[in-house]
Amino acid sequence: MVRVEKVEFKPVGVRDLLIEMKDLSELMIDLAYSAALFDSPALAEEVMEMESHIDTLTYLLNMNLMVAARDADDAESLVGVTKVAGATNKISDAAADIAAIVLQGIGIHPIIREAFEKVEERLTRVNVRPNSILVGKQLGELELAAKMGVDIIGIRRNKRWIINPEEDEVIREGDVLIVRGAPKGIEEIEGVAKGTIRKLED
């Protein structure tokens, strides 16, 4: 079930909000295509969670813009920002529409698969279990790209998303990782996160 987040005003940098919304909306499109291509409810649910989060960010952004605008000139210069935020929101809605097809079990028609099949690399979502060797490691030291041919392109930690995490980001128990890579590497990282694979091959 997608939780609807309660929104209260807090002063947040509009720039950071807009960047987060843009990055999230782009990731959502990729996730939604993958969800449809591989008929994956797990990925589709992640898209739905993100969609709900983007709604919250949109509220926050608009509240902060209203507070920031003290006169007509401010309002005029800031109105474009609300339009861009609205556009990212619309993109995220579109991603959610595609994800909904998977969750509603309408069935993915072969035509849809063919339209999305250019997505060569696979995306997956993995939960980091307490006994995984990933826990406490920095992304950089894991060298996942070299060792498995996969990239961690997003981390969900509680209600926060970290898109394109930095090398020094430390993986924690309970993190949800969004991973992109070739099918073999994807299988491996799933085992590593689950704790069934205890060693990274060189």
Interaction site with a copy of itself (CB under 8 A): 14-15, 18-19, 22, 26, 29, 32, 36, 76-81, 83-84, 86-88, 90-91, 93-95, 97-98, 100-101, 106-109, 111-112, 114-116
Of the pair 74, 141, the CB lying nearest a copy of itself is at 74
Supply the minimum distance, in Å, between the C-beta of residue 195 and a copy of itself.
Answer: 35
Q: Which of 23, 53, 2, 31 is nearest to 177 (CA)?
A: 31
Supply the minimum distance, in Å, between the C-beta of residue 183 and a copy of itself.
Answer: 22
Of the pair 16, 143, the CB lying nearest a copy of itself is at 16
* Cβ proximity of 151 and 179 under 8 Å: yes
Sequence-distant (6+) residues with CB within 8 A of 49 are 2, 3, 156
Of the pair 26, 55, the CB lying nearest a copy of itself is at 26
* Cβ proximity of 85 and 18 under 8 Å: yes
Supply the minimum distance, in Å, between the C-beta of residue 55 and a copy of itself.
Answer: 15
The residue assigned the tokens 């983007």 is: 54
Supply the minimum distance, in Å, between the C-beta of residue 19 and a copy of itself.
Answer: 5
Sequence-distant (6+) residues with CB within 8 A of 6 are none
Q: How many CA atoms lie within 13 A of 19 on its CB side?
A: 8
Of the pair 93, 169, the CB lying nearest a copy of itself is at 93
